[in-house]
Structure 1
């Protein structure tokens, strides 16, 4: 590790966003370097991110209204990898993000896990509206704006099916909310209404509006719907939701503390506002309410209560976030069995020693039994990450005791020969891993630190890099339904 301080290492990342309307791909290169200095414990960080390739914007291939065309998506990925000059074996980190209404398709889960294996050696699959909003906020520039200014900033990423809101104050995520607001919730064909989504049908019924399929695209209820969406969004941002907003809420109500000061729009609808991609995006024919929705948002008086900041990225915000913002780098003081890597989609169980070591040990075995019941209830051998948090100062005898306790509880798993996957909040991973190895633990050991995780998260751990660190993606695998 001593020579690594002055030598940068690079890894290749891919971001793939399969959205309700469009599919995009981005290829990036990360530069890693030891930022701690030669006299300190090494800390390897991503110090630079270069965008190597941005794909064109493709229509998301669908077999029908319920099914994603997996072969069509794969064909796009293969052709764009070739255009970028990379192969799937070159991809060491990144994310496949399935977003918006696409996540409700009947084969969404199967497709996204399939792609995570086909698109790269360490390319993860994630979904869920809250996570989409967070990633989009980082890709759009909203997160960076809040960090720089300290202002409470809401990013509203609106695509074909959903509006994903993420609110930040500096580095802290204050909350999220997702709404059924998007361009493809009403679609047209040959000047008439071709389809109306279920949330919009519920809204029409609630309001007593008469719009139905077959009506003219100029029907006055189209403007009623887009205007209501803009008004509803303003109420949600102000945390003044009314019962009338219920048809447009997907999941929980806004959950942030404090008052939003600044708003930023990203996603396909913001492209209709700012035209950053023109003329490229205009090649995609709009046969939906996207432009009407963008106009309604810009004309809504309630939304002018907030300062508007133009995003760095519009339609590409989520794919940029997926390709450049999802990866963390482990600490250099780690112990890993390289032959067991990569591992994907392993659930995290958090155990805290906040009340002290002895109190913690008194609850340790029962807590791990609970983790086994949660994650391996069918006794199929589902492994999990044990996240050991809030450790006090640890002497060598304390480390030995902790290693003994871990070895004992890991035997309780239905498949005890699986690797021990441990994350330590403090810089104890290497000494703990080496102690487990010296005690001749029969399992392989993956023990890492300097990664922020929580109970209920999922982790992917990539292959060890030349610098002996590993790339890690922490995520929540949730698929919402309409």
Structure 2
């Protein structure tokens, strides 16, 4: 008998420093295991059904997003796409760049994730942003296909997010204060200079300030310096002076980068892949000068430059098509307890020894409660069990007994106990837990690999018996 294909609709919504855009996709899921084998449900196809125009991100002030205007954009674009929010079963609302620093950023993404779809998740944070953009631009796929070390550099209005992949494996990330809107113009004059660039100007002893001509020679010095810092970061030869443009941690990848892919709004100034009428946003900033400085930067010339599949839409396409994972098909869940959102992830590595994992479980749960629920208010979390060895039935029983003892440490022991495994053990472990404590609500899912990000959302059970899972971060920079 042929396996039946199940489809689900996904939305990606990206609210960035400069632009807001939306994409609607359709995923096709199918059981790729034979009739006599354990089901293996996988996404076999992703089709983009609708891409919105590119809108200027609506702001009420320099520190506040216009939530009503963003809501209106989403509603009218859903209408044009011919979908309603209750048809959207997965995807992500991601808030990117400097927009994640706005006072109401967190409220905005959580509001949209609740109102724009059944299981649409809120995501933020530069590392995740870089990863999503690398998947949307094609850099991740190119690294997988060629085995090369590929750096995706996603440059928007406020930040440049770098994610390096080697052979399809994430090796590191880094974020810089490099972006098109860090200096804005109006009527041929400088209208605004962002704080990180102000710091750079003071450090270098330059004189440019608000009110000066947009053609002031220091503006070119700034874009050239941004391009040089980018080259130094990619070659991991950053100087102390470069750190003025670093946001968060320094680059952590090992080995050399072979290929660079530029995505984001500034890359559109390099490649011009969009149709002329695709953008409703009008820019008056340093984006074009920055693109030109990157093209001319000597430190970037020895890399292979690979054209992206997408420029300004890389992040929104990644959010709409690349954030959803599908669990294993042999899982133990209760539909009444789903979906679950914004669950911190606590990893416990068994280091391929059952005894090692058993010894770590209690201290890991105690630590998780101290970090995520110090007030005893019942903030739930995911226990993510990794590097599990081959398990005999006796080992499963030992792990289940230890987990039940750990559950009793929780301030609210009656809330669902959520176990996620890397390996294919969810059904047997979940059933053993249920047999030992029939009253306990158990969510036990498997075949999930967490690449980066400290939070997990778990969606409703699909017809094929799997659940969609999204791994994410929720980092709102002050």
| TM-score of the two chains, using structure 2 as the length reference | 0.97
Aligned ranges for residues 92-107 of structure 1 at < 5 Å? 92-107=89-104
Aligned partner of 2:105 among 102, 105, 108: 108
2:262 to 265, 283, 294: 265
- Secondary structure in structure 2 of the residue aligned to 1:333: coil
Correspondent of 1:322 among 319, 324, 334:
319
Q: Work out the CA distance in 1 between the residues paired with 2:334 and 2:264.
A: 41
Task: State the alpha-carbon separation in 2 of the partners of residues 287 and 353 from structure 1.
Answer: 54
Contact 1:297/1:303 (<8 A) preserved? yes
Structure-1 residue corresponding to 2:158: 161
Aligned counterparts of 1:73 and 1:360: Cα–Cα separation in 2: 46
- Closer/same/farther in 2, CA of residues 360 and 261 from structure 1, 3 Å limit: closer
Q: What residue in structure 2 maps to residue 473 of structure 1? A: 470
Shift of 1:179: 0.7
Indicate the residue corresponding to 1:433 in structure 2: 430
Pair 372,283 (structure 1): closer, same or farther in 2 beyond 3 Å: closer
Deviation at 1:363, TM superposition (A): 4.1
C-alpha root-mean-square deviation of aligned residues, in Å?
Answer: 1.6
Match of 1:236 in 2: 233
- Deviation of 1:434 after TM superposition, in Å, equals 1.7
* In structure 2, C-alpha distance between the alignment counterparts of 1:17 and 1:111, rounded to whole Å: 12
Preserved CA contact (<8 Å) 1:94 1:327: yes
Quick check: 384-393 or 451-460, which moved more? 451-460
Partner residue of 2:140 out of 140, 143, 152: 143
CA gap of 1:298–1:332, structure 2 versus 1, over 3 A, is same
Partners in 2 of 1:405 and 1:216 — Cα distance? 68
Matched, 1:387 2:414: no
2:301 partner SS = helix
1:86, 1:130 → 2: CA distance?
Answer: 31
Mark the CA change 1:379 to 1:291 in structure 2 (over 3 Å): closer, same or farther.
Answer: same
CA contact (8 A) 2:55 2:279 kept: no
In 2: Cα distance, 1:261 partner to 1:399 partner = 44
1:456 positional shift? 6.8
What is the Cα deviation at residue 195 of structure 1?
0.4
Counterpart check, 1:450 vs 2:458: no
Deviation larger for 365-374 or 230-239: 365-374
Cα separation, 1, equivalents of 2:143 and 2:394: 45
Question: Which of the residues 346, 351, 369 maps onto 2:348?
Answer: 351
Per the TM alignment, residue 40 of structure 1 is displaced from its structure 2 partner at its CA by 2.4
Distance in 2 between residues matched to 1:225 and 1:87, nearest whole Å: 45
Deviation at 1:54, TM superposition (A): 0.3
Question: In the alignment, what sits opposite 2:330?
Answer: 333
CA change 1:121–1:362 in 2 (3 A) is same
Partners of 2:43 and 2:359 lie apart in 1 by 39
What secondary structure does 1:305 align onto? Answer: coil
Q: 2:418 aligns with which of 399, 421, 430?
A: 421
| Structure 2 residue matching 1:247: 3-state secondary structure | helix
| CA apart distance, 1:428 | 1.4
**Tell me, what secondary structure is at the counterpart of 1:155?**
strand
1:22 counterpart = 2:19: yes
Question: Following superposition of structure 1 onto structure 2, how do residues 298-313 of structure 1 map, counting pairs within 5 Å?
Answer: 298-313=295-310
Are residues 1:64 and 2:61 paired? Answer: yes
Per the TM alignment, residue 388 of structure 1 is displaced from its structure 2 partner at its CA by: 2.2
Query: Of 207, 211, 216, which residue of structure 2 is paired with 1:210?
Result: 207
Instruction: Return the offset for 1:283.
Output: 4.6
Corresponding residue pairs, total? 478
CA distance in 2, matches of 1:353, 1:454: 18
CA contact (8 A) 1:407 1:441 kept: no
Q: Which runs of 5+ in 2 are unaligned?
A: none
- Give the match for residue 196 of structure 2: 199
Show the counterpart of 2:180: 183
Cross-structure match for 1:296: 293
Q: Comparing 43-52 with 370-379, which one deviates more in the overlay?
A: 370-379
The alpha carbon displacement at 1:403 in A equals: 2.0
Give me the TM-score of the superposition, normalised by structure 1: 0.96
Q: CA deviation at 1:214?
A: 0.6
1:287 match:
284
1:52 and 2:49 equivalent?
yes
Secondary structure of the residue aligned to 1:335 is coil
Of 357, 361, 366 in structure 1, the residue corresponding to residue 358 of structure 2 is 361
Cα distance in 1 for partners of 2:103, 2:83 equals: 31
Query: What is the DSSP-based 3-state SS (H/G/I as helix, E as strand, rest coil) of the residue aligned with 1:81?
Result: helix
2:248 matches 1:251: yes
Superposition deviation, residue 480 in structure 1: 2.3
Partner of 2:122: 125
Residue segments in structure 1 that go unaligned for 5+ positions in a row: none
- CA positional deviation for 1:366: 3.1
Q: Give the whole-Å Cα distance in 1 for the aligned partners of 2:319 and 2:165.
A: 18
- Matched with 1:38 is 35
Which whole-Å CA distance do the structure 1 matches of 2:376 and 2:88 have between them? 33
CA distance in 1, matches of 2:352, 2:51: 50
Equivalent-residue separation in structure 2 for 1:280 and 1:254 (angstroms): 37
Q: What is the distance in 1 between the residues matched to 2:411 and 2:452?
A: 21
Residue 10, structure 1, aligned to residue 3, structure 2: no
Return the offset for 1:237: 0.9
